[in-house]
Chains A and B, each alone.
Chain A
Amino acid sequence: MTFFKIKKVVLIRSVQAVFAAVFIMFVIRTYFWIRLPETNIQVSYSGQEEKLIIPPRPGIKGIEITGPQIQPLFFSVDLSRAGVHSLDFLQLQLIDPHADVKLTCTIDEQGRLLFLQKDILMEGHTEAGLMIQKALKTWIYTPYKQGTIKFWFNLPSKGRKVIIDLSGLKRKDSIPRHIPIYTGQIHLIDGLENSELQISG
């Protein structure tokens, strides 16, 4: 081979070798860079004030182990029970648009809604009263509260047509004090708008 051909080959090969070397080094460097733990490659930007955050330190005066979150209970109509029927408010309005029915009911230990005839005021609105009773008889509540619950169906009212008074209810003694009991859905009246309903107590 002539001297110039060798020179040409040497030049070409040296360029190839340099490229190959650079590429290989880059691959290796990237490989190890990726494997580094995150903290080693984090770069903090200047100007950030470092606040002193002392990591949590173990205490020696007794032990407290975090327990499970306390889930609150909801006092509401128990929809999981079979035979629970809702009251069709629109139908009630069609039957008797001037219905004025008051019921004073009792919720027993099992959450059943109980009432006697003497607890119902429905003079002149018997049909509406019977329709309401038929539905309310099927309602069963979650057994977290007991006591009296009052319903007033005042259909002629321009404002609140249904008023439910819960002030006579008390939480059951068997439920530990630390468990909060919230009020959930306490009626099953279909077609009743929020603006027509008032819940007190």
Chain B
Amino acid sequence: MFIKISDRNKEKIELVSLIDMIFILLVFFLVTSFVIKLNLQERSLYVPTPKNVLGRAQLLIQFVDENRIFWLDEEASTVVESIEENYGYLNDASLRDRILSNLTSNNIISLNQMDSKINHLISAANQDPFTNYFILIRCPNELPYFHVIDVIEKLSSTKYRNIKYGCVGGTFDDIRYCKRIYDVVEKDSKGNRRKNLRIDF
């Protein structure tokens, strides 16, 4: 049996050039990825200006000092409600002191604790794109403003950009020596009745 083998020159796969090609591609991707992980670039961060109205928010982050935050969220109104029920006979100033003493002991947290709470808030925001949050950040005059930027940075890592923020100047003493702190029932934008915590300066 004769098997005629064609006499053509079979094209061999050039292994050497293939290896070279792979190395070059590798170098190419390494270089481009290195180029992309770049220097710091100057960018613009938009922050809303304050307004001379009542400061409504879902959350208050008040800088007490560089390392401590006074955190007030919706749980605070429940605490105030129970104090108002039990100590309603006190005058406004005494009631305020009692409420603030309670809130101060439970709601002044470290920066690490704040990070953890912000992460919870962000997870909640990411699960519900239709709920909008507004965070009020109050910072004392003497604190460097990069502390505020740090908080803003943490708050802006949401999937649906449904956490908004604003920062104003103010100290913890403004709250500690406020005129009055109390619960008030109001309807929200969806018509639901809520028990809100109000602080009058």
Contacts and interface: CB of A to CB of B under 8 A. Distances in A.
Are chains A and B native binding partners rather than an unrelated pairing? yes
Interface of A: 24, 28, 32, 55-70, 178, 180
B48 A55 contact: yes
Given A58-B166, A60-B170, A180-B193, 6 more contacts: A59-B168, A61-B201, A63-B57, A64-B197, A68-B195, A178-B193
B58 A56 contact: no
Contacts of A56: 48, 134, 164, 166
Give the 4 A-B residue pairs with the shortest CB-CB distance, closest first.
Answer: A58-B166, A67-B77, A59-B55, A178-B185
Contact of A61 (B49, B54, B60): B54
Contacts of B54: 59, 61-64
Interface in B182-201: 183-185, 188, 192-201
A57 B52 CA distance: 10
Taking residues whose C-beta sits less than 8 angstroms from the other chain, chain B's interface range is 35 or more
Contacts of A32: 36
Contacts of B199: 62-64
A65 B193 contact: no
A60 B60 CA distance: 12
Interface of B: 25, 32, 36, 48-60, 72-78, 134, 136-137, 164, 166-168, 170, 175, 183-185, 188, 192-201
Contact of B51 (A58, A62, A63): A58
Contacts of A57: 48-51, 166
A65 B50 contact: no
A62 B185 contact: no
A40 to B, nearest CB: 13
Given A57-B49, A67-B195, A62 B60 contact: no
B33 to A, nearest CB: 10
B185 A65 contact: no
30 contacts: A56-B48, A56-B134, A57-B48, A57-B166, A58-B50, A58-B55, A58-B166, A59-B53, A59-B55, A59-B56, A59-B136, A60-B51, A60-B52, A60-B170, A62-B199, A63-B57, A63-B60, A63-B136, A63-B175, A64-B198, A65-B58, A65-B60, A65-B73, A65-B74, A65-B198, A66-B74, A67-B195, A68-B75, A68-B194, A178-B193
